[in-house]
Structure 1
Amino acid sequence: MDYKKTLNLPKTDFPMKGNLPDKEPRILEQWEREDLYSRIREMRKGAPKYILHDGPPYANGNIHIGHALNKTLKDIVVKYKTMQGFDSPYVPGWDCHGMPIEHQLFKEMKKTKHDMDQVKFRKLAHEFAMKFVSIQREEFKRLAIFGEWANPYLTLDPAYEKEVVKAFNKLAKDGFIYRGLKPINWCARCETALAEAEVEYENHISPSIYVKFALKPLAPHPCGAGSAFLVWTTTPWTLISNVAIAVHPDLNYIIFKMDGGEELILAEDLLETLRKKIKLRGKVIKKIKGKELEGRVTRHPFLGRDSKVVLADYVSNQDGTGCVHIAPGHGQEDYEVGLKYNLPVIMPVDDKGRF
């Protein structure tokens, strides 16, 4: 028996299926035809402002799920604030400069920057960026993101670049701009600086070594002239740039006399660990506070130049020897110690990553 006719079901013109692939484009077309975004702006004219400053995506390819999540979350905030009564315009923008665009263009052309005329390449990069501004704009609009899509800000716009130069000029006049050196992330393939967000890390096991920096004979001092600082480093390739040895001012250090007569300076807390690791045999003949070692001068183990003993709070007694090799050209912490003690910055690696 068919019971269908006996059921008292509601009747409605509201569709039972979303059918979004068909409906969404038609809804978006209607919104654009009615200029809904501008009408909202007109209705909110004079209301308190709520501005969401949007960090721009690179104009270097189609959008991906990260773009979709980013823009959707921001669109929710803007629309929510609008519903609360704020005048909350959204001005989208694109970052049209830098390596992400250049890198994509080089990949497409299968060339490097050494194969290209710079002026010609800039023109090609401009065209490439504008192409993906147009593509991404339509993709964002397809996500129903409200915004001033006809009037975005572009970092390649001369008016925008002018404002950057004006801001830089003010910083220079106010004394905030100076020429100097600074350790940075560097891409040897692209021969350019990298932002922290552009660096991808992978696990890598590097060789570590123990190195002795012998004290130079000076005036009387708690450390004997025949002693040597025992340094442990996981970056032996940076030893060529060494200019100092760092110790912690508040740690206790010892002079450890080996059975063969050699004297090593190391952190007292690490002695037992080092006895097991590198089979140190001998006895402690003197204890010294780290701050007493400041100012001593050692000899580089294979280059014959001087390496000063300096103080640094980041030196640890958890691993190593308590004596850290300092190369200001190879790391931010070392660089800051170098600034404090006016140490030279040695960088033997060229732009291609070659010594």
Structure 2
Amino acid sequence: MKPSITLKVISGLYSGVTTVELDNLAAETAATMTTKHPDYAVLAARIAVSNLHKETKKTFSDVMEDLYKMVDKVTGKLSPMISDYHYDIIKRNAERLNSSIIYDRDFNYNYFGFKVHCLTERLTAVLEYLGLQIIYMTLERSYLLRIDGEVVERPQHMLMRVAVGIHGEDIDSAIETYNLLSERYFTHASPTLFGAATPKPQMSSCFLLTMKDDSIEGIYDTLKQCALISKSAGGIGLNVHCIRATGSYIAGTNGTSNGIVPMLRVYNNTARYVDQGGNKVRYICFGRDKVKKVLQSKEKVRRPWTRWMEQAQDMTCGRRHGTSSESGLYIKGF
């Protein structure tokens, strides 16, 4: 370690400090120095992974058993995180699956010391371009399964769980897929990573919807659909072309429409409330008569609404099908 890292860790010493806390401090300190040299990200990841390995069980089948036998500490009832079907497969093939896992591959992940909820797609693309590939903190925060809030999976456990979740009884294919995932030839989408082999394995990434109707019934029926998708961590694309613009006449009540912005606040608050999988991207699509209202809108208490939403996704505008027509404008970020 560089003296600056060592001194920082020493300054964090206090009576009763645990080795886990010291490891976390060392990893975070190294990660903040990544801008000086990219190898600090490697060092940070190795410290973090070593720390995780000390705090988790090594054997894949043992970890899956703990997840299968998980008990809700509030109700005292069984609340398994692994399905009966997949647990039975893992139990019957435990020796082969356990021996196929190569834990040293966990040390191939990189670490970047910033809060995951501040990560934008654009920044992710830059980091991937620079070779940071998979961010360890993202794995720890969003994908590795927990018991009572504590991470019990290692990255290699997660990848084997995903492989078994996809292939089931076909153990040869499961091991082949594990190795391809583990050696980073490809990766699966977020819902697959944290949903595979669980009792409710919703593994689809994106859902495209059209507003059912420009009415209270249509708006709230669609909102329910979005909430159910968000519950299972699906990404949402919503076409709201049919919603009338601000000031439009409403024949049924002899009133005028409040426009799209108040409706989007309802959708945003629902997405924030029903947010099982963490950060998710959403798209909205509408005509030019509504674009300015959205771009100019403000949230009274906090930042401009065009920074939307707490999910920290950057908002960008584009044109549908690459045309010059403004009728196809869309906004990404909801």
**Structure 2-normalised TM-score?**
0.23
**Structure 1-normalised TM-score?**
0.22
| Higher relative contact order structure (alpha carbons within 8 Å, sequence separation ≥ 6) | 1
Of structures 1 and 2, the larger Rg is shown by 1
- Greater percentage in strand: 1
- Greater percentage in helix: 2
